[in-house]
Amino acid sequence: MRLFLKLLFLAFLGGFNSYAQQFTLTGKITDGNNNAIPFVSLYVNTTTKGTSSNVEGNYKLNLPAGKTDLLFSAIGFEDKLVSINIKENTTLHISLVPKVFTLNEVTVGRSKNSDPADEIIRKTIENRESYLEELDAYTCEVYTKGMQKLLASPKKFFGRDVAKILELNAQGQGIIYLSETESKLDFQKENKIKEVMVSSKIAGNDNGFSFNKASDLSVNFYKNVVLEDKLNVRGFVSPIADNAFTYYRFKLLGSHQAGGQTISKIQVTPKRENDPAFSGEIYIINDSWRINSVDLFLTKRSGIEFIDTLNIKQQLVLVDGVSVPSSVQFDIRGKVFGFKFAGYVVGVYKNYDVKPRFNKHFFTNEILRINSSSNKKDSLYWAKSRPVPLTFEENENYIKKDSISRLKSSKRYLDSVDNVKNKFNIGQILITPYVFYHSYNKKSVTYDPLLTSVFYNTVEGVALKYGVTMKQGFNDGRYFTIRPELRYGFSNLHFNGNITGKYFYNPIRNGMISIGIGTEVANLNPLKQTNFFRNSINALIFGRNVSKFYERRFLNIQASREFAPSFEVKITADYAERLALLNTSYDSFRKTNEFDSNDPFNPLDEKSYLFPRHTGFVISGMMAYTIAQKYITRPDGRFYIESKYPRIEINYKKGIPNVFNSDVNYDFISAEIFQKDVHFLLMGKSSLLLGAGKFLNTKQLYYPDWKHFRANRSIIFDSDVRNFHFLDFYLFSTTKQYFEAHFQHNFGSFFINKIPLLRKLKLEEIIGGAYLTSPEKNSYSEFYFGFKRLNFRIDYGYAFDSGKRIQQGFKFSYGF
């Protein structure tokens, strides 16, 4: 009896599996001239289950046995409804007919001299806000694929063989990035997003995780400005923005009937070729005045950076009365430094639910989580589940790079590569760091370049500072480093040495602990300012010793960790014997120099020591939190997205007396609010910092423990909004209380773009200012304006002390 029941149960399972069996439908979609139509959307009719054809027009869709109605849809072509009875794996080629748009069907009222498209756009604008807000929430599945390839490239770049490094063919062509992902995407109003990447594949990197993010493909043309701060600072005006007629001309190319609706094809053209506006076509459903699809372009004249052309194709479908994207495609082309490139990113959306129910705590600040198993799916899985077929070129790229990847992970291969990379090069050790690799064991040793290790200052004369960094990595993203460092001054004949070890033990929570011990020559102002090279130039060429130094013999222990996303805590214990130093060298290429003493408060007294020899034991703590900070969680770490809300930081320092013979006794507290990149649509973006602090106790306080500021005396400056342009490094430091404020705004070519000869330079206009007040200096302020292009910037500014102008001039900034 039991055997009978088992057999009956197995027969039932067999019948069930037969009923649920899936078959594969494949084919190619072409036009009437047998030309492939790329990225055609095809869905099971009246559902959002479907896929898209690839760039060669080939498609693949898994379907259950039985009769199915399929709807094929592409921008510029008539929809095609096909009924098919699936009994086995089937091939079905489809030919789509170009849409015929006729003008005589248009009945929208208009003024006598206007194009009928104007009235269609006006009605669409009237409904813009209602459609922008109509979608409360949805869930869906998203497949994305990104591909970038080189169409041409130089043979050598910085002396290195490009084709060999990037694995290109003999013509310098080939795919340099190919990746696919499958994600589940959840959305709710007020920009609440939760994406879980369940599958990830990168050509040539079995252990890597794709950078494709479904939410990056979200372009909502119902917004007034789209792609804000993506391809330029300001973004681009939507063709149906409230002020669209200020930027666009519209022309009705015709209309056609589809599914009982009239769809109008409208050409959009910027009124001025350099406006931040699109060119192309937008398709509007008459009567409901919804967007049906878009085929729009941006070019260099539109103000995009880094690429020459961007083409956006988006198809929308109605699901339970609301518009959602069925597919989105970004195509790019460009040329830079002799590299001619092209590529695309495509997203295919399916299985929508526009009436989901989320619990109260479903959405967090984590916008993307990549499952640790997402990159473990094999080629058989992808061959079965991939909704958009690979092209021949893409398939060959996977085969080639995946086989090379397996080879590259072997010890024999890695050792052979290391033997090449580890060859000693005298030019490398002089100008750039020399790195000795042991890749299989994830070890490396980095030797500092000699050129940046030799410098000059008036305390040490010509000096040498040299360090070696040894690193050991682990598969889970953890690593530790050990860095010994030696320093010798040839004028003061003094030797310093120290060693620091750092262990990065938790990539997800950015957990780190470090210990350092030894002696060093330190700047009296520890905050970021001029480097060794700039200080050497100031001393040797201009005869000014800008930087001031002291010596410390120290033991330093530091630990930091995030206890919650974007909530960082850092604790530092620093024990040091401090010695003030005097000048010992007065060399300069000038016949006369303007060297001051090493005491900034007594510049003419060469024998003046800024502070007596003493010992300090200082405990400090820092807590920082960024409000509503969005982040991505990957198995190898947590990565933050720019926040629309400020970062709040609180610091506390305590000089502890009578412990380990410590001579210091003080308490200091400070707070800082920093907001980066507040966007004002076409008017650019602003950054703001407010900071204040106070010494609660100054019973025993020495200059190294004063509150210092991010000052600058060089013609080269750091463009971080926190930094002053002209402030003295040392004289404005305080022992009491202070308040500082910094503001900077980038107009993103808003004005320059309107000047015919200058607009080609693509300069971004910068204005800003800074303010500082403390008992030592009642009122210090700066104002500046400048221009920025990529990472290069020039400013002209003014500095005022208590309302009196004390300095003005040009400042330059650069970065790579």
Q: Tens digits of per-residue pLDDT, 246-275?
A: 999 999 999 888 777 888 999 999 998 888
- Under the banding of pLDDT at 50, 70 and 90, the label for residue 16 is very low
Quick: pLDDT tens for 87-97.
Answer: 888 888 989 98
CA nearest neighbour of 546 among 489, 598, 591, 609: 598
* Side-chain-facing half-sphere of 126: CA atoms under 13 Å: 9
Contact yes or no for 629/643 (Cβ under 8 A): yes
SS3 for 758-777, per residue?
CHHHCCEEEEEEEEEECCCC
Quick one: DSSP state of residue 172? S
φ, ψ at 578 (rounded to 5°): -115, 135
Secondary element (H or E) of residue 80: strand 80-86
Quick: pLDDT tens for 675-705.
Answer: 998 888 889 999 999 999 999 999 999 999 9
The pLDDT score that the predictor gives to residue 124 is 95
The pLDDT score that the predictor gives to residue 7 is 32
- For residue 202, the cross-strand partners are 179
**C-beta atoms surrounding 399 within 10 Å:** 12
Of residues 400 and 733, more confidence is placed in: 733
Question: Which stretch of 437-441, 493-497, 698-702 has the lowest confidence by average pLDDT?
Answer: 437-441
The pLDDT score that the predictor gives to residue 528 is 64
Mean local confidence (pLDDT), 582-610 = 90
* Token pair recorded at residue 54: 């690839």
d(CA 806, CA 812): 19
The pLDDT score that the predictor gives to residue 154 is 85
Residue type at position 596: D
Question: Residue 317 CA to chain centroid, in angstroms?
Answer: 31
**657-678 b/e with 16+ CB inside 10 Å = b?**
eeeeebbbbbebebebebbbee
The pLDDT score that the predictor gives to residue 809 is 93
- For residue 343, the cross-strand partners are 148, 332
pLDDT of residue 2 exceeding 90, the answer is: no
The pLDDT score that the predictor gives to residue 63 is 87
List own/partner pairs for 607-610 with CB under 8 A and 24 or more apart. 607/582, 609/580, 609/582, 610/524, 610/548, 610/550, 610/580, 610/703
d(CA 553, CA 617): 12
Determine whether 143 is exposed, middle or buried from the number of CB atoms within 10 Å of its CB (0-12, 13-18, 19+).
buried
- Under the banding of pLDDT at 50, 70 and 90, the label for residue 648 is very high
- Under the banding of pLDDT at 50, 70 and 90, the label for residue 106 is low
**Which residue bears the tokens 């086989």?**
403
d(CA 313, CA 606): 71
DSSP 603-641: TT-TT--SS--EEEEEEEEEEEEETT--EEEETTEEEEP
CA nearest neighbour of 80 among 62, 117, 53: 53
**C-beta atoms surrounding 177 within 10 Å:** 17
Residue type at position 49: K
pTM for the predicted model, two decimal places: 0.84
Helix (H, G, I), strand (E, B) or coil at 377: coil
Mean pLDDT over each residue of the chain, to the nearest integer: 87
The pLDDT score that the predictor gives to residue 1 is 38
Residue type at position 578: R
pLDDT of residue 727 exceeding 70, the answer is: yes
d(CA 279, CA 265): 13
- Under the banding of pLDDT at 50, 70 and 90, the label for residue 76 is confident
Strands in 87-135 per DSSP E? 90-91, 94-95
d(CA 600, CA 751): 43
The pLDDT score that the predictor gives to residue 396 is 86
* Token pair recorded at residue 463: 């000096």
CA nearest neighbour of 381 among 220, 182, 119: 182
Tell which phi-psi region holds residue 615, choosing left (phi > 0), alpha (psi between -120 and 50) or beta: beta
Strands in 320-452 per DSSP E? 322-336, 339-353, 366-370, 434-438, 443-447
Where do the domains of the chain lie? 18-95, 117-372, 709-816
pLDDT of residue 72 exceeding 80, the answer is: yes
Percent above pLDDT 70 for the chain: 94
- Under the banding of pLDDT at 50, 70 and 90, the label for residue 13 is very low
CATH number of 18-95: 2.60.40.1120
Quick: pLDDT tens for 740-798.
Answer: 999 999 999 889 888 888 888 889 999 999 999 998 778 899 999 999 988 899 999 99
Nearby residues of 427 by Cβ (< 8 Å), 6 or more positions away? none
CA 184-189-190 angle, to 5 degrees, is 115
d(CA 607, CA 104): 95
CA nearest neighbour of 617 among 733, 547, 496, 702: 702
- Under the banding of pLDDT at 50, 70 and 90, the label for residue 158 is low
* Token pair recorded at residue 123: 């009605």
φ, ψ at 687 (rounded to 5°): -130, 145
d(CA 328, CA 309): 16
**Distance between start and end Cα atoms, the chain:** 79
